[in-house]
Structure formats: structure tokens, C-alpha cells
């Protein structure tokens, strides 16, 4: 009985994942199709990948995307750490929960609205649309994510650790650099990688605020797809998927290698 | 160098309209073992945090070495703390935890190694340098916390209930170790506990606190033998407290009888409270005893029996004895005049000390 239940649960899970991953796998398989369309697999070929790699325009877009993602994730992580520390040290609970709610609203509000409001903001402020506006908006939507990833780690930390560091002579900055940051490292990594993936696959916000010929992959794939079916898109999507997969696996490896520990009088 | 290391001068601490410490003044001398003893919430931790510099007094002044430190932050005070939850840094191993304070002070690597090794030797943790904190037992963690404090060679170590998380056997062991450690180092310890036996066993001086005020301070024997009021008497060990009347110097009446005692300096016929410790009561026959009582119940406590009796006036008498009695039987209680301790109602510590002095010489 018990065994049967487990078998059912497992196969159900497998089915769900198969359905979820089927389009991507389907797409990836056809990126090797010499037929030139998604109907009928003819012969195995690297043609589309070759075409992709000789396309310098696409290569520049890929570079743009990576630069925006790395830069925005890094800056958002730094700002997010400061923000999380600031929110954590607020003693007034009402004010604190208000700030937290504002933070969470930014996370759940639709990309389209965020994109549109950034567009309005940039136009009003006279900031020209392009690399800078995309970078700014990516930083902005990543910060709340970093904050939300770091706050639980801060909450988990016993306040007496900070007292202990001060007691041993640590200045305010030393308390942060020698005790708090090492303690919340896993949260920082989680925040950074989440911000990175959010930036890499963002379409809606970028679509609104980009301009002057500056493009990221997501927007480019969209315009390629609108021009008509080309298996180049499949090849490109497969590469993006692989990169994301590697990032996720890398994060998984980093976060499980060193388990966070709790310290107390007794376990 | 003055012998006083810490002085509180009319210190009051208020947290959100709640008076936690009420006009507290005391002095702490160099090289002694002090204990702050009191029930939960009486302000013990608050006193430690005021000394360490984590909180500022609402009113009054705190002096370390006769310098007012009200505005000096915790990281600049010559004081180290052993926290109740040890507060060891989970990302550092034992060696680095102990070395933390030295690294902040930029002590040379060679000296760090030597001093940490010494501190760990002091607390019997040689060879544990490379252990992670999670690999240490409760008692070992506590010793790491102590090593981390003493390695900085502070003049004063504050310990906030460091033994409360340990089991009874380990706790007793650590009491000896701590006391011995303090004497070897010759520095001042301020120890917080709500366990009166722990306080009596370890301290040179005890401060008994209740509701944000110091009820009584003195050596363990002073406080045990001459508690100033009902609260202290009750808190420091078990005691029999009955109402009485002071007939004259050295003569007190309670339980409808008159007894010799050694207390004086009271008004004639002043109502007082009379204390006799359970272990000072001897059981004899009803005829020869000073007070006849009826045995109500008897409890085996390991070292002794705890026998609960009532006299004819419904006063409860607890007796500690190695002998057994029969429940329901009538026995007599015998005691020396020295076993009786008389407390004046509502007497402050200053008045109490004055009265003791007056009749001692
Ligand atoms: N930061 C704070 N904010 C508000 N109230 C506080 C704060 N710290 C302590 N208190 C209050 O001060 C009182 C005394 O606290 P304290 O921690 O000094 O007690 P304690 O004697 O150490 O008790 P325990 O034996 O339970 O540790 C308590 O009523 C507590 O609620
Ligand atoms: Mg406390």
C-alpha cells in the first residue's frame, strides 16, 4: 500500500517535470536539425550554432546581456546588503514592517508596470535610453530580491554575537566585516545568483527601457521570433538554457558545500 | 591604584516607561568574585550590560577605575563578557574564536598563537584549537567562551548565567573550576545567577537583587545567617519565618513562648519576624523540645529528610534531618539561641548595618 503510494507520487512528479521540460528539450533537439524548420527532424547539424557564432551582432548582444547581469547583480547585492542591515537594525516594529511591505510590493508587482514606470521616470529625468537605463532598472528590480534573501539570515543570527564582537573590541565596521558578513554569506550568494538570473532572463522591463540599438538576449530572441522562424533562435535558446542550468547547479554546489550552522547553549 | 574597579552612583535604567533598575549604588573591588543573585527579570543582565557598555544608564553614573564611562562604547571598555548563550562565532573555529579580540587589537601572529594556547590551557582545552564550534559540547563551549574573554587580560570579567545550560554534575564541576580560575588569575569576576546555592558556593560577595533594587549585599555567610528581610531569607535557602515580638534585648516571644536569643537594638514589644533555618532545628521528644509540633509530611531529599510540621498556632516548621520520623506523631523542636535570627519589618540595608554595628562593639 505504502509502496504503491510512493510509486504513484514519484511517477506523478516525473510526469510534471517531463511536461515542464518537454518544450525546452524539444527546442534544443531541433536546434540540431538541418531541415530548417520545426517540422520533421532531417539530419544532425551544427549549422545553426555556426551561424550564431559568426554573427558578431548577436555576440555583442550576448556580451551586453552578461555585462548588464553581472554589473546589476553585483551593485544590487551591495546595495541590498546595506538595505537589509538597515532594515534589520530598525527597532520600531511598525516602521520596519512598513519598509518590508514596500520591499515585497516591488517583488510581486508585474514587470510591465515596473518597466512602464521606469520608462516614464527616465524620460522625465532626461536619461537617454540604452545601456545605462537598462542597467539602472535591473539594479532597481534586483535590490528587493537581494534584501529578501538576506533578511532571514540576519534574523536567524543571535544578537548576542554582535554584542560579543563589540565586547572583544570590534568597531562598528569590524562587527559587520568580521561577524555579520561571514554569517550571512550564504544569503548573499543566494541574493546575487537570483539577481543574476532575474537580470539574464528579464524581458518586460528591458523591453520598455532599452533604446539606441542597445539590446539584450531576451529582447533579441523576441524580435527574431517575430521576424519568422529560424532555428538560430533554437540554438540561442539552448545556449541560454545551458548557461542558466550551469548557474543554478553552481549555486546549488556552493550553498550545499558549506552548511550554515546554529550555535546555542545546547542543541 | 584605588581598590574600587566599578562604581555605580544612583543608576536608574528605564526601558519604555518600565523602571528596570531603581537608583542603584554599589562598589566592586579588584580581585574578588562577585555574584548578582535574584529572581528572573530583577535586572541582573541589565547591570552587566550597563557595565559592559551595551546600554546607557537613564540616570546616574557608572565609573570604571574612577573614570565616568557613561558615554564610552563597549568596544573601548576594559571588560570582557561571557554570554549566557556563549555567543561563539559559528564561522570561526575554536582557535579563531579565542583569538578574535587579539586580532582586533592587531597583536602579532606569534603572540596570538602563544596567548591563545595559554588561554586554552587555562580552561583545559588544549588540543581543541582546530575544532569547529558545532563539534564542541555545552561545557566545552562554555570554556571556549571563558577563554575568549580572559585571553584579552581584562581587569573585569562579566559572566551572565554561564552555567545554566549545563546539567547538575557538570555545573558543580564548573563552579569549582570557575572559582579556582578566578583565584589563579586574580582578576575580578562579576557572576550572574538565580541559583542561590551556586552564589553561596562561589562568591566573595553577593548582591541580592529584587525588582531593580539591591536588597542586601555581603559575604555568603552574612547573607545566609543574617538576611535583612523576608525576601532575602526566602531566596537564600529555605527558612522558617514566623511572626514574633521582641520583649527586650536578647528575649523574643513567638509561638506563644519566650526564648533567649542574641539579637538586640529593638524597641520594647516591637513586632518582628523570626527566622530559623531548617537545618538548625533538632528533633527531640515532645516533652523536652522547646516547641511541640505535629509531623505533617516527610520527603526524602537524598542527603536529608525534609520534614514539614505544624505547631499549635498553625505555624509551619520545616526541619532538615538525617533521621526519619513517623508522620502524624507529635515531636519537640529544639534549637540554640544563636539559631534564632530576628528581622525588623521594613528595615533598609543601611539601617540594618548601623544596628548590627551598634551592638557588635
Ligand atoms: N532591551 C530591553 N527593552 C525593554 N525591556 C527590557 C530590555 N532589556 C530588559 N528589559 C526588561 O528589564 C527587566 C530586567 O531584565 P534583565 O534582563 O536585566 O533581567 P534578569 O535579571 O537578567 O532576568 P533573567 O534571570 O530572566 O535573565 C525585564 O523586565 C525585561 O523585560
Ligand atoms: Mg538575564
Tell me the per-residue pLDDT of A248-261, one tens digit each, with 9 for 90 and over.
Answer: 888 788 777 655 44
Instruction: Kindly list the residues from chain B whose CB atom is less than 8 angstroms away from the CB atom of residue A180.
Output: none
Picking from B214, B220, B203, B157, the residue whose alpha carbon sits closest to that of residue B34 is: B203
Q: How far is the CA of B208 from the centre of ligand 2 (A)?
A: 14
Q: Which of B49, B73, B94, B100 to mutate to test the interface with A (most CBs of A within 10 A)?
A: B100
The whole-number pLDDT of residue B151 equals: 93
The whole-number pLDDT of residue A262 equals: 45
The whole-number pLDDT of residue A210 equals: 84
Indicate if ligand 1 lies below 6 Å from the C-beta of B218.
no
Strand B188-193, strand B156-160: pairing: parallel
Q: Which of A168, A183, A266 sits opposite B138 (nearest CB)?
A: A266
User: Class of B4-225 per CATH?
Assistant: alpha beta
The whole-number pLDDT of residue A266 equals: 37
φ, ψ (nearest 5 deg) of residue A132: -65, -45
The whole-number pLDDT of residue B361 equals: 56
Q: Which atom belonging to ligand 1 lies closest to the Cα atom of B47?
A: 18
Q: How far is the CA of B44 from the centre of ligand 2 (A)?
A: 6
Q: Are B168 and B209 in contact (CB under 8 A)?
A: no
Tell me how far apart the alpha carbons of residues B328 and A214 are, in angstroms, rounded to a whole number: 99
B350 vs B34, higher pLDDT: B34
Residues of B with CB under 8 A from a CB of A: 52-54, 73-76, 79-81, 83-91, 100-101, 104-105, 132-134, 138, 141, 148, 152, 164-165
Three-state SS annotation for B80-98: EEECCCCCCCCCCEHHHHH
Instruction: Kindly list the residues from chain B whose CB atom is less than 8 angstroms away from the CB atom of residue A166.
Output: 53-54, 73-75
Helices B94-104 and B138-150 sit at what angle, rounded to 10 degrees?
A: 20
Tell me how far apart the alpha carbons of residues B222 and B228 are, in angstroms, rounded to a whole number: 10
Picking from B276, B279, B271, the residue whose alpha carbon sits closest to that of residue B339 is: B276
Tell me how far apart the alpha carbons of residues B114 and B185 are, in angstroms, rounded to a whole number: 17
Picking from B195, B41, B166, B40, the residue whose alpha carbon sits closest to that of residue A265 is: B166
Instruction: Kindly list the residues from chain A whose CB atom is less than 8 angstroms away from the CB atom of residue B105.
Output: 169
Across residues B327-332, what is the average pLDDT? 88
pLDDT tops 90 at residue A114: no
For chain B, give the number of residues. Answer: 361
Tell me the per-residue pLDDT of A189-244, one tens digit each, with 9 for 90 and over.
Answer: 989 988 988 888 888 888 888 877 788 888 888 887 787 767 888 888 888 888 87
**Of all residues in chain B, what percent carry a pLDDT higher than 90?**
40
Strand B291-300, strand B282-284: pairing: unpaired
The whole-number pLDDT of residue B160 equals: 92
Q: Nearest residue CA, atom 30 of ligand 1?
A: B41
The whole-number pLDDT of residue B357 equals: 78
Across residues B3-29, what is the average pLDDT? 91
Indicate if ligand 1 lies below 6 Å from the C-beta of B278.
no
The whole-number pLDDT of residue A29 equals: 86
Report residue A181's pLDDT band, with 50, 70 and 90 as the boundaries.
Answer: very high
Pocket test for ligand 1, best of B43, B83, B165 (most atoms within 8 A of CB): B43
pLDDT tops 80 at residue B194: yes
Across residues A106-133, what is the average pLDDT? 86
Q: Are B69 and B63 in contact (CB under 8 A)?
A: yes
- Residue A87's beta-bridge partner residues? none
Q: Are B228 and B352 in contact (CB under 8 A)?
A: yes
Indicate if ligand 1 lies below 6 Å from the C-beta of B210.
no
Can you read off the three cell numbers belonging to residue A213? 540599438
Burial of B269 (0-12, 13-18, 19+ CB in 10 A): exposed
Nearest residue in chain B measured CA to CA from A159: B87
Strand B291-300, strand B330-334: pairing: antiparallel
pLDDT tops 50 at residue A264: no
Strand B240-248, strand B213-218: pairing: unpaired
The CATH fold assigned to B238-360 is OB fold (Dihydrolipoamide Acetyltransferase, E2P) (2.40.50)
A180 vs B2, higher pLDDT: A180
Owner of C-alpha cell 548573499? A188
Contacts of residue B268, Cβ cutoff 8 Å, sequence gap at least 6: B246, B247, B248
Q: Do A163 and B83 touch (CB under 8 A)?
A: yes
Across residues B215-236, what is the average pLDDT? 89
Tell me how far apart the alpha carbons of residues B341 and B262 are, in angstroms, rounded to a whole number: 8
Q: Do A182 and B133 touch (CB under 8 A)?
A: no
Instruction: Kindly list the residues from chain B whose CB atom is less than 8 angstroms away from the CB atom of residue A266.
Output: 138, 165
CA atoms within 13 A on the CB side of B130: 0
Which strand ranges, in their side-by-side order, compose the sheet holding B341-344?
B257-260, B251-254, B240-248, B270-276, B341-344
CATH of A55-256 given 1.20.1440.230, 1.10.3720.10, 3.40.50.2300, 3.40.50.1980 = 1.10.3720.10
Q: Do B85 and A265 touch (CB under 8 A)?
A: yes
Across residues B306-316, what is the average pLDDT? 88
**Of all residues in chain A, what percent carry a pLDDT higher than 70?**
95
Picking from A151, A153, A182, A179, the residue whose alpha carbon sits closest to that of residue A164 is: A179
Tell me how far apart the alpha carbons of residues B201 and B175 are, in angstroms, rounded to a whole number: 8
CATH 3.40.50.300, chain B: domain bounds: 4-225
Across residues B139-143, what is the average pLDDT? 87
Q: Which of A160, A166, A182 sits opposite B91 (nearest CB)?
A: A182
Q: Per residue in B162-171, is it b (16+ CB within 10 Å) or e — as a string? A: bbebbeeeeb
Instruction: Kindly list the residues from chain A whose CB atom is less than 8 angstroms away from the CB atom of residue B164.
Output: 265
Owner of C-alpha cell 535610453? A129
Q: Do A178 and B100 touch (CB under 8 A)?
A: yes
The whole-number pLDDT of residue A209 equals: 84
pLDDT tops 70 at residue B162: yes
For B192, the enclosing helix (H) or strand (E) is strand B188-193
Q: Do A158 and B85 touch (CB under 8 A)?
A: yes
Nearest residue in chain A measured CA to CA from B100: A168
Q: Do A167 and B100 touch (CB under 8 A)?
A: no
Picking from B118, B84, B115, the residue whose alpha carbon sits closest to that of residue B101 is: B115
Indicate if ligand 1 lies below 6 Å from the C-beta of B20.
yes
Contacts of residue A259, Cβ cutoff 8 Å, sequence gap at least 6: none
Can you read off the three cell numbers belonging to residue B91? 564561522
Tell me how far apart the alpha carbons of residues A201 and A221 are, in angstroms, rounded to a whole number: 11
Q: Are B14 and B20 in contact (CB under 8 A)?
A: yes
Q: Which of B104, B149, B171 to mutate to test the interface with A (most CBs of A within 10 A)?
A: B104
Longest CA span, chain A:
72
Q: What is the DSSP string of B206-225?
A: EEEEETTEEEEEE-HHHHHH
Tell me the per-residue pLDDT of B163-193, one tens digit each, with 9 for 90 and over.
Answer: 887 788 878 888 888 898 899 888 999 999 9
Q: Nearest residue CA, atom 28 of ligand 1?
A: B41
CATH 2.40.50.140, chain B: domain bounds: 238-360
pLDDT tops 70 at residue B1: no
pLDDT tops 60 at residue A245: yes
Mean per-residue pLDDT of chain A: 85
pLDDT tops 70 at residue B257: yes
The whole-number pLDDT of residue B61 equals: 93
- Ligand in nearest proximity to the CA of B193: 1
* B15 CA: distance to closest CA in chain A (Å): 13
Contacts of residue B261, Cβ cutoff 8 Å, sequence gap at least 6: B250, B251, B252, B337, B340, B342
Amino acid at each position: 500500500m505504502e509502496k504503491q503510494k510512493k510509486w504513484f507520487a514519484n511517477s506523478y512528479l516525473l510526469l510534471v517535470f517531463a511536461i515542464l521540460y518537454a518544450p525546452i528539450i524539444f527546442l534544443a533537439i531541433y536546434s540540431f536539425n538541418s531541415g530548417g524548420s520545426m517540422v520533421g527532424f532531417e539530419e544532425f547539424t551544427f549549422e545553426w550554432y555556426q551561424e550564431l557564432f559568426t554573427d558578431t551582432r548577436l555576440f555583442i548582444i550576448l556580451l551586453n546581456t552578461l555585462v548588464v547581469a553581472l554589473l546589476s547583480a553585483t551593485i544590487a547585492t551591495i546595495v541590498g546588503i546595506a538595505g537589509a542591515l538597515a532594515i534589520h537594525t530598525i527597532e520600531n516594529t511598525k516602521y520596519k514592517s512598513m519598509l518590508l511591505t514596500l520591499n515585497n510590493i516591488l517583488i510581486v508587482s508585474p514587470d510591465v508596470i515596473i518597466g512602464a514606470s521606469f520608462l516614464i521616470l527616465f524620460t522625465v529625468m532626461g536619461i537617454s535610453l540604452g545601456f545605462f537605463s537598462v542597467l539602472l532598472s535591473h539594479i532597481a528590480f534586483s535590490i528587493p530580491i537581494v534584501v529578501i534573501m538576506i533578511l532571514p539570515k540576519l534574523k536567524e543570527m543571535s544578537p548576542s554575537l554582535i554584542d560579543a564582537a563589540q565586547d572583544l573590541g570590534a568597531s562598528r565596521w569590524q562587527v559587520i566585516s568580521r561577524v555579520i558578513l561571514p554569517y550571512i554569506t550564504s544569503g548573499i550568494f543566494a541574493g546575487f545568483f537570483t539577481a543574476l538570473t532575474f537580470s539574464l532572463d528579464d524581458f518586460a522591463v528591458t523591453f520598455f527601457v532599452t533604446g539606441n540599438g542597445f539590446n539584450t538576449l531576451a529582447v533579441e530572441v523576441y524580435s527574431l521570433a517575430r521576424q519568422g522562424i529560424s532555428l538560430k533562435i533554437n540554438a540561442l535558446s539552448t545556449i541560454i538554457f545551458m548557461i542558466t542550468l550551469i548557474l543554478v547547479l553552481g549555486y546549488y554546489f556552493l550553498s550545499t558545500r558549506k552548511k550554515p550552522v546554529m550555535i546555542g547553549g545546547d542543541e | 591604584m584605588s581598590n574600587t574597579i566599578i562604581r555605580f552612583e544612583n543608576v536608574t535604567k528605564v526601558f519604555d516607561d518600565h523602571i528596570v533598575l531603581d537608583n542603584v549604588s554599589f562598589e566592586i573591588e579588584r580581585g574578588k568574585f562577585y555574584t548578582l543573585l535574584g529572581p528572573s527579570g530583577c535586572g541582573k543582565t541589565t547591570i552587566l550590560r550597563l557595565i559592559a557598555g551595551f546600554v546607557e544608564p537613564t540616570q546616574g553614573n557608572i565609573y570604571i577605575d574612577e573614570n565616568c564611562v557613561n558615554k564610552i562604547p563597549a568596544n573601548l571598555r576594559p571588560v570582557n563578557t561571557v554570554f549566557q548563550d556563549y555567543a561563539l562565532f559559528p564561522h570561526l573555529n575554536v582557535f579563531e574564536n579565542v583569538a578574535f579580540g587579539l586580532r582586533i587589537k592587531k597583536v602579532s601572529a606569534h603572540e596570538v598563537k602563544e596567548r591563545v594556547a595559554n588561554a586554552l590551557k587555562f580552561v583545559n582545552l588544549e588540543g581543541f584549537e582546530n575544532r569547529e564550534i558545532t563539534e564542541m559540547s555545552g561545557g566545552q563551549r562554555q570554556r571556549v567562551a571563558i577563554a575568549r574573554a580572559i585571553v584579552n587580560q581584562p581587569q573585569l570579567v562579566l559572566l551572565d548565567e554561564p552555567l545554566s545550560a549545563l546539567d547538575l554534575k557538570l555545573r558543580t564541576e564548573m563552579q569549582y573550576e570557575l572559582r579556582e580560575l578566578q583565584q589563579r588569575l586574580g582578576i575580578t569576576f562579576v557572576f550572574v545567577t538565580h541559583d542561590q546555592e551556586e552564589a553561596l558556593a562561589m562568591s566573595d560577595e553577593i548582591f541580592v537583587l529584587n525588582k531593580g533594587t539591591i536588597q542586601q549585599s555581603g559575604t555568603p555567610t552574612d547573607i545566609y545567617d543574617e538576611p535583612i528581610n523576608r525576601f532575602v531569607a526566602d531566596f537564600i535557602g529555605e527558612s522558617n519565618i514566623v511572626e514574633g515580638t521582641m520583649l527586650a534585648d536578647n528575649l523574643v516571644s513567638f509561638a506563644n513562648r519566650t526564648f533567649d536569643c542574641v539579637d538586640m537594638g529593638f524597641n520594647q514589644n516591637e513586632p518582628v519576624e523570626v527566622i530559623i533555618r531548617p537545618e538548625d532545628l533538632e528533633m527531640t521528644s515532645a516533652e523536652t523540645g522547646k516547641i511541640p509540633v505535629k509531623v505533617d509530611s516527610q520527603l526524602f531529599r537524598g542527603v536529608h529528610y525534609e520534614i514539614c510540621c505544624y505547631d499549635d498556632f498553625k505555624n509551619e516548621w520545616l526541619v532538615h534531618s538525617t533521621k526519619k520520623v513517623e508522620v502524624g506523631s507529635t515531636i519537640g523542636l529544639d534549637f540554640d539561641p544563636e539559631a534564632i535570627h530576628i528581622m525588623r519589618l521594613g528595615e533598609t540595608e543601611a539601617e540594618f548595618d548601623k544596628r548590627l554595628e551598634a551592638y557588635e562593639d
